[in-house]
Amino acid sequence: MKIGIYSGAIPPPVFINNLINGLVDKNDTVILYGKTSERNYKFSSSAIVKRKVPITKLGIILYSIYALSKLIIMQPQLYLTIVKMLRQNSTNWIQFLKRSCRVLPPFLDNLDIFHIQWAKTLVQYPEFIEKLTCPIVLSLRGTHINVSPISDEGFSLSYKKYFPRINGFHAVSQAIAEEAEKYGADINKITVINPAVDEKLLNYKADKVNNLDSEILHIISVGRCHWIKGYTFVLDAMSILSKEKVDYNYTIIAGGRDQENILYQIHDLGLNECVSFINDELSHDEVLKKVSECDLFLLPSLEEGISNAVIEAMALGLPVISTDCGGMGEVIRNSENGFLVPVRDSESMAKAIQNFIDLDEMEKNNMIFNARETIIHNHLLSYQVDQFKSFYSKIV
């Protein structure tokens, strides 16, 4: 099967990259579409075809001329209508050329199925849903479904227009599948396929021996720098712990630009000595190493589909405290394989951390064992790839 994956970026996020590698290992042809951010990035398989959007003005001009010329030869009946749409959706000629570079490649590859990874892409590039003849599937993920159509009515209206025309949906959780119904997604076309981790994480060993102070509770959170991740509420929880004289060190790893409120709150609450904020774009291996060195993982989010960071932490053997948001209750069973606390409830999060501290060694080990069993039975990459292959075959 020839599968087009539109991620918008090359390299894509780790969870999409893992899926692509898994599909190629199963002898499917995968064509990845997106703008490159790392010129020297190497995929694990040479069988992955990359359709990179050029970034220089000359590259954009040359590639758009090539794509338009090829389209008029391959699909002359489509050429005029697609060019008309591209012009209507562009404000000037350079935007028309840039848009051509983004939109045209999937029309030239004779795909069996086209998988769009982000719902906003439907709004940004309606040419796909209007003119592609192969089946289109869409992933329903986190902020794109839980937040964007609420904060911007334009997304809500566009989703309601285009979702009924999608051939099939992949939802990362049952909760997000139900949310997408509000915007016209047919529940009978939605297949829930949970996030997954590579089996190698179950036996992950950091290269460097843990050199953190064992007398201090080392806590960590990982996620993009965005208000939806709830860092302000967890910092209030840390302030409560400090007042109660708990010895801890809390690390936030969050790339992105929305760092001002986090930095201010750390300073305002006097947490500089016990809270570390890493705003750099660390590699996945660097993040795994830092997580594996800690004692406890926190997810303070206001909304999630299912957090990839949480299932990675569970696979690594790190106990997890998560807010009961989105699909997290589909993964974590409170006090059995982790802890669930109410959203925006700093006191409950601080209390959950105290409860974790009070567990004896056997209780902590049981929680870690149960969490890893959850991953083994429901969140391994090999199982996820088989689910996607079945999903694609059903749609085709």
Residue extents of the structural domains in the chain: 2-53+112-196+381-395, 199-378
Beta bridge partners of 45: none
Question: How far, in Å, are 78, 99, 139, 219 from residue 70 at the CA level?
Answer: 12, 16, 29, 54
CA atoms lying within 13 Å on the CB side of residue 195:
27
Tokens at 94, concatenated? 């350079």
Sheet holding 320-323, edge to edge: 275-278, 248-253, 217-222, 296-299, 320-323, 339-341
DSSP state for residue 236 in the 8-state scheme: H
Tokens at 11, concatenated? 């390299």
Residue range 256-304, pLDDT digits in tens: 888 899 999 999 999 999 999 999 889 999 999 999 999 999 999 999 9
User: What's the pLDDT band for 38 if we cut at 50, 70, 90?
Assistant: low
What pLDDT is attached to residue 381? 95
As a whole number, mean pLDDT of residues 67-82 equals 92
What pLDDT is attached to residue 267? 96
2-53+112-196+381-395 and 199-378 have identical folds: yes
Superfamily in which the 2-53+112-196+381-395 domain is placed by CATH: Glycogen Phosphorylase B; (3.40.50.2000)
DSSP state for residue 203 in the 8-state scheme: G
What pLDDT is attached to residue 208? 43
Residue range 215-251, pLDDT digits in tens: 899 999 999 999 999 999 999 999 999 999 999 999 9
User: What's the pLDDT band for 77 if we cut at 50, 70, 90?
Assistant: confident
Q: Residue 288 burial by CB count (10 A; 0-12/13-18/19+): exposed, middle or buried?
A: buried
394 phi, psi to nearest 5 deg? -65, -40
CA 209 to chain centre: 29
> What is the torsional sign of CA 273, 221, 304, 15?
positive
Helices (H) and strands (E) in the chain, counts: 17, 13
Rounded to 5°, angle at Cα 71 from 67 and 76: 155
Task: Return mean pLDDT, the chain.
Answer: 93
As a whole number, mean pLDDT of residues 305-334 equals 96
What pLDDT is attached to residue 173? 96
What pLDDT is attached to residue 308? 95
What pLDDT is attached to residue 44? 65
pLDDT at 211 over 90: no
Residue range 155-210, pLDDT digits in tens: 999 999 999 999 999 999 999 999 999 999 999 999 999 999 999 999 887 554 45
The three-state secondary structure class of 188 is helix
Tokens at 190, concatenated? 């939605």
pTM tops 0.75 = yes
Q: E strands along 37-89, which residues? A: 49-53
Question: How far, in Å, are 77, 220, 255, 257 from residue 275 at the CA level?
Answer: 61, 10, 16, 19
Residue range 99-156, pLDDT digits in tens: 999 999 999 999 999 999 999 999 999 999 999 999 999 999 989 999 999 999 999 9
Contacts of 128 (CB under 8 A, 6+ apart): 6, 103, 106, 114, 116, 121, 122, 136
Fold of the domain built from segment(s) 199-378: Rossmann fold (3.40.50)
Count of Cβ atoms closer than 10 Å to residue 167 Cβ: 15
What pLDDT is attached to residue 256? 84
